[in-house]
Amino acid sequence: MKEFIAEIVSIGRLRHRNLVQLLGYCRRQGELLLVYDYMPNGSLDKYLYNQPKLTLNWSQRFRVIKGVASGLFYLHEEWEQVVIHRDVKASNILLDSGLNGRLGDFGLAKLYDHGTELQTTHVVGTVGYLAPELTRTGEGTPCTDVFAFEAFLLEVACGRRPISQSSTDVILLDWVYSCWRKGDILEAKDPNLGSDCVAEEVELILKLGLICSQSEPEARPTMRHIVQLLEGDIPFPRMSSLRLSSSGIAFSHRTGFDEFSMLYTSSLNNKFSHSSSAEASLLSGGP
């Protein structure tokens, strides 16, 4: 109980425009409940799946994606501690009165100090959003949040759940990858979007989903780089060597991925600090 209250107090101090504000907790019939700000437009998933009349256009979806990315970047790098959300998905993204996306439900979140590692003993999260290494280590990290963010990206762009609930299960990641391999990744986009969307932005999100889903945690971009990619501040890596295997998506060799690997290496060297001038030069294409 002391650990629970300590974490609630810490999470309650989080302040970001794309996070749902945690107000406190209460007991009800033996259960501990977290209390958040009320979000009048409910969760994002009902706009994607349950109520077709409430569909969001592409501009609104893209704004939600960028907002959630910004919120996760804050949790991983900008706050006084590292916060691993561990359950990033559309049903945990709430929409405020302006249809801005806010990441909520910190019931599974874990905190640890910068420069240390979080060790967990059991796997938590939602099937379809779980990074492959979690089944081996049970260790939640920023990389596992990035993998879950991949599933979120694809469900927003495609209007489909990560794993379909039909009689013939379809894994969304595999389907998007097959569309990319055929040279028509936009085939995977949500048909409800129609032609009223920016094709380049949709393609960016779909490809970013593939990049974030890599089987090796160290090969995934950080949330810092994801925000920069979404804002167009750094170039998108070439994907010519991307392949799908039984263990997940990976690059079969480094060719075509060097520039992104350099960005990731720079991130590791500056993981728990603000960007140094050297990193800023690298990210901007400098020497």
Catalytic residue among 37, 45, 87, 113: 87
- Mean pLDDT in consecutive groups of 10 residues from the start of the chain, 287 residues: 78 94 86 88 90 82 98 96 94 95 90 78 79 85 95 95 75 93 94 88 96 90 96 86 57 44 46 39 36
Other residues' Cβ atoms within 10 Å of the Cβ of residue 104: 22
Q: How many CB atoms lie within 10 A of CB 26?
A: 10
Which pLDDT value is given to residue 280? 34
- The pTM for the full model equals 0.82
Instruction: Note if 233 is an active site residue.
Output: no
Q: What is the per-residue pLDDT for 207?
A: 95
Q: What tokens does 256 get?
A: 């075509």
Task: Give how far Cα 69 sits from Cα of 51, 96, 217, 230, 242, Å.
Answer: 25, 16, 18, 9, 23
Strands 248-251, 242-245: pairing is antiparallel
* Closest to 263 in 3D by CA, of 231, 222, 232, 215: 222
According to the model, what pLDDT value does residue 233 have? 94
How many helices (H) and strands (E) the chain has is answered by 10, 8
Architecture of domain 38-283: Orthogonal Bundle (1.10)
The pLDDT tens digits of the residues spanning 20-64 come to: 998 888 888 888 888 899 999 999 999 998 666 678 999 999 999
Alpha-carbon span 209 to 118, nearest angstrom: 25
Buried b (16+ CB within 10 A) or exposed e, 167-181: eeeeebbebbbebbe
- Alpha helices per DSSP H over 96-198: 134-137, 142-158, 172-181
